[in-house]
Amino acid sequence: MKIIKDVKFLIVGLGLIGGSYAQALTDLGYEVGAITRSQSSIDYAKENGLISSGTTEVTREYVSRFDVIVFALYPNVLLNWLSEYQDYIKDGAVLTDVTGVKTPIVYKIQEMLRPEIEFIGAHPMAGKEVYGVQNADKTIFRNANYIVTPTDKNTPEGINCCRELGKILGFKTVCELSPEKHDEMIGFLSQLTHCIAVSLMTCKESRELVNYTGDSFRDLTRIAKINETMWTELFLLNKGELLSQMDLFIDKFKELKSAIECEDTEKMKEIMKTSTERRAYFDKK
């Protein structure tokens, strides 16, 4: 499916990310509907021009109007939703998601779906430390990456449609990874970093440290403000991968610690030089 002007989008789950998708797509002139649990989210989104219609009830009549459906739900909720309502979706529709873990989601969904509809996993690597449609903000996509995770079951047209969506939403980069590669990468870049930030933040009852805190500690703990329900689910869905990334980090941390312990200044400098060199890859262009 090409994303032309009369394509109709349905957002299922109107939180921060779903709301930001809705805002971006509506602002581009598309018709955007929404299904979500809370009526107040629908009301807010309508009043603020994020969607043109919305409902808390899942009906065949409503769902079948849409060509592209974006699921912005917790992983387990997403699986339940599809097993219950996939019959309502029109033939030829393209489905995608925003879930932060792909392997345990994408294959299950593709297995369960009827052949007339296509699901392509995607992960918009954007966010904020606030929740809810009230904080929807399409500008969070601007400097972010959008990762499409196709499998053998996907068609070139489906993949293209999903990539196109990433582009029109305004992401800086759109790229493709297998679900497995995605989960390995996310285990390291995102889940491990959240585990580090959370652990650092729980080291001390740190209220009295606020006056002395520079940017280093603030930067390292920004993501320690965390939605515990969502992240518990995401961590466990990617458990094996995450645990091995955590082990890798512990090894490296202990290597530095033992260099400090032995006052091995050559080793310490070597580690810091490597760190400095590698960090340079990540300087924003």
Contact call for residue 196 and a second copy (CB under 8 A): yes
Q: Are 24 and 44 in contact (CB under 8 A)?
A: no
Query: For the chain, how many residues are written?
Result: 285
Contact call for residue 87 and a second copy (CB under 8 A): no
Nearer Cβ to a second copy (58/236): 236
Contact call for residue 236 and a second copy (CB under 8 A): yes
Smallest separation, CB 106 to a second copy (Å): 17
What are residue 173's DSSP bridge partners?
145
Smallest separation, CB 242 to a second copy (Å): 7
Smallest separation, CB 91 to a second copy (Å): 34
Contact call for residue 281 and a second copy (CB under 8 A): yes
- 20-28, 33-41, 86-94, 222-230 -> range binding a second copy (CB under 8 A): 222-230
**Could you say which DSSP state residue 53 is in?**
E
What per-residue string of b and e applies to 130-161 under the rule 16 or more CB within 10 Å gives b?
A: eeebeebebebbeebebbbbbbebbeeebbbb
- 37-45, 51-59, 83-91, 192-200 -> range binding a second copy (CB under 8 A): 192-200
Residue 151 exposure: Cα atoms within 13 Å on the Cβ side: 18
Nearer Cβ to a second copy (88/235): 235
Nearer Cβ to a second copy (57/266): 266
Task: From residue 64, give the alpha-carbon distance in Å to each of 59, 89, 97, 114, 252.
Answer: 8, 5, 18, 15, 52
- Interface residues for a second copy in 251-270 (CB under 8 A)? 252-257, 260-261, 263, 265, 268-269
The one-letter code for the residue type at 268 is M
Smallest separation, CB 255 to a second copy (Å): 8
Nearer Cβ to a second copy (94/159): 159
- Interface residues for a second copy in 93-152 (CB under 8 A)? 125-127, 143-145, 147
Contact call for residue 275 and a second copy (CB under 8 A): yes
Distance CA 248, CA 242 (A): 10
Contact call for residue 235 and a second copy (CB under 8 A): yes
Three-point CA angle 30, 35, 36, nearest 5°: 130
Residue 209 phi, psi (nearest 5): -85, -10
| Among candidate residues 127, 123, 228, 229, the one with its CA nearest the CA of residue 185 | 123
Smallest separation, CB 233 to a second copy (Å): 9
